[in-house]
Amino acid sequence: MKQGIITVMALILILAPGCRNTEKADIVISGGKVYTADPLSLKAEAVAIRGNRILAVGTEKEVSKYIDPEFTKVIDAAGRTVLPGFNDAHAHFGPLDPDYIELRYVTDPAVITARVKEQVSHSQKGQLIYGGHWEHEMFTTREWPSKELIDPVSPENPVVLRRTDGHSALVNSYVLRESGITKNTPDPFGGEIMRDPATGEPTGILKESAMSLIRTGEIKVERTAGEEREREWRGYLMALKMAAGYGITSIQIPGSADFDMYDSIMAHGKLTCRLDIGGELTADPVRLDRYEELRQKYPSTGDWIRFGYLKDFMDGTLGSATAMMFEPFNDEPDKSGLPQMSYEELEARVLAGDRRGFQIGIHAIGPKANNWILNAYEKAREVNGVRDSRHRSEHAQILIEEDIPRFGALGVIASMQPVHCITDKRFAEKRIGTDRSRWAYAWKSLADNGARLAFGTDYSVEPLNPIEGLYASVTRKDRKGEEGDGWFPMEKITMEKAIEYYTLGAAYAQFMENRKGMIREGYLADITILSGNIFDIPEEMIMSVKADYTVLDGKIVFEREK
């Protein structure tokens, strides 16, 4: 009898055709410069993927044995950079507006004409055509656009296209007419109607307060509930497509979002990004109960839609002078920021959330805001006991020197958005002075003092493109590549570290570093191939790097068209 069983088993082993294939890869990426973010082995030449996992990482020779010419898809990375998929640790991700004309990164103004024409073609007469994020400094002409660019394709629709900073807009003749703006209209206070130097006619560019003159006379489109739902669905898919196009495979949404919608997208097989969705920090036991239910339904052991952390706001922003400072702002000496709650309330909320085992992430821009939340997190350890809580400072933007080592000591994650540094530095120093700026966006000092860092974008405040964050981390220069060594260059980090915080660091911030964030055997196969070798190009070239492939859970979810 025993003999018989062994014979049958041996026969199965010999006959089963699948058995030999278990060592064959579905996908092999070869010929690239693989940066694994794995501290045990940071560099490799090739990666093999089977199912949703990484099968092997190593030299070309080591990985080539997993290639079955009839079975394996081989991607030739051709010297390009291969990375773990980007994980945006702080993005207000959600549906896009399907009718919004996105003009970011447009270099050829003719694209604007084409996009408006396309949108007009499926709009009704009189319906508003809108969009923005164009930047004429990026145009090959470097000239302000004018209404002539859009008039021929929009004779019967109002068009309003805002500049990337939102401080000026391009409108067509339809809008100028509806607004009553002519060559005789004076510039309003604090604004400018740009005019043709020869004729004095408005060019279609309205700056600052001149935008308040805009009257579109638009015709509102009535939609049925079904049409609205279809439109929203399309908006979500567009957003997911955008993320995949940037090489992003995971996003951590601060605060709440629509779990049901993402469930539905997942059920339709269209979820192309892993998502953490959170809740609002509260001391209310009933609301905490509700979050416990969500945590059970979307557990941290999952790999797709998971309940993230409880979010709160300690202060406002530097731009609006509401960041909490110990001393007043230099340029507004009567202000030192606006706490969003008392310290007692903060501590009560932190203690309640921590006691239930939730991770907590609090928006903290100013040094006093960061000091308070560190104090509250420290208190939670004293009262509730020390555990692997990984509470977070969302932004950790401006600190006092004494608080820098406390992040590491208390196990508090600095969840930072490097792009804020290069956007804000223009006015940061004016507002808080040089001494206080020294410890602003201080990612190098935080890391050197034992803090765990997680990088993100704060989309949609900033673009979702992670490349901008990498550029900001290593240069601390504005997007045009100003002269010099960068703003507080002692805080610059290497490209390797910047990528680590955008992959492994972000995975750690969501307790997933045991299966995500590195290219390591057995890890989830989330991989990005960039268009160039981002480690060896001059810094002024970094911003032009794009994602060429995005692999999520072992499947190619984005491939750039050639």
CB 249 within 8 A of CB 550: yes
The Cα 318–Cα 437 span in angstroms is 12
* Residue with smaller CB distance to Zn ion, 38 or 462: 462
CB of 254 to Zn ion, least distance (A): 5
* Residue with smaller CB distance to Zn ion, 54 or 421: 421
The DSSP line for 398-413 is B--GGGHHHHHHHT-E
* Residues making up the chain, counted from first to last: 562
**Binding residues with Zn ion: total (CB under 5 A):** 1
> Which residue number places its CB atom closest to Zn ion?
458
CB 337 within 8 A of CB 366: yes
CB of 315 to Zn ion, least distance (A): 12
* Residue with smaller CB distance to Zn ion, 347 or 458: 458
Residues ≥6 apart with Cβ < 8 Å to 437: 398, 425, 428, 429, 488
CB of 90 to Zn ion, least distance (A): 6
CB of 416 to Zn ion, least distance (A): 11
* Residue with smaller CB distance to Zn ion, 369 or 557: 369
Whether omega before 212 lies within 30 degrees of 0, making that bond cis, reads no
* Residue with smaller CB distance to Zn ion, 92 or 379: 92
Is residue 462 involved in binding Zn ion (CB under 5 A)? no
CB of 91 to Zn ion, least distance (A): 8
Please give the distance of CA 397 from its chain centroid, rounded to a whole number. Answer: 17
* Residue with smaller CB distance to Zn ion, 113 or 415: 415
CB of 169 to Zn ion, least distance (A): 25
The Cα 102–Cα 124 span in angstroms is 20
Please give the distance of CA 364 from its chain centroid, rounded to a whole number. Answer: 18
The region of 4-12, 31-39, 428-436, 453-461 touching Zn ion under the rule CB under 5 A is: 453-461
For 284, counting Cβ atoms within 10 Å of its Cβ (0-12 exposed, 13-18 middle, 19+ buried), the class is exposed
Please give the distance of CA 267 from its chain centroid, rounded to a whole number. Answer: 24
CB of 69 to Zn ion, least distance (A): 48
SS3 (DSSP) at 414: strand
The Cα 310–Cα 281 span in angstroms is 5
The region of 72-80, 291-299, 398-406, 455-463 touching Zn ion under the rule CB under 5 A is: 455-463
Return phi, psi of residue 113, to 5°. -55, -45
* Residue with smaller CB distance to Zn ion, 138 or 341: 341
The region of 376-384, 458-466, 506-514, 535-543 touching Zn ion under the rule CB under 5 A is: 458-466
Joined tokens for residue 510: 């969501």
* Residue with smaller CB distance to Zn ion, 424 or 458: 458
The region of 81-89, 134-142, 312-320, 452-460 touching Zn ion under the rule CB under 5 A is: 452-460
- CA end-to-end span of the chain: 62
The region of 112-120, 181-189, 369-377, 451-459 touching Zn ion under the rule CB under 5 A is: 451-459
CB of 77 to Zn ion, least distance (A): 34
Is residue 276 involved in binding Zn ion (CB under 5 A)? no
Is residue 458 involved in binding Zn ion (CB under 5 A)? yes
* Residue with smaller CB distance to Zn ion, 458 or 553: 458
**Residue 396 CB neighbour total at 10 angstroms:** 30
Site for Zn ion, rule CB under 5 A: 458
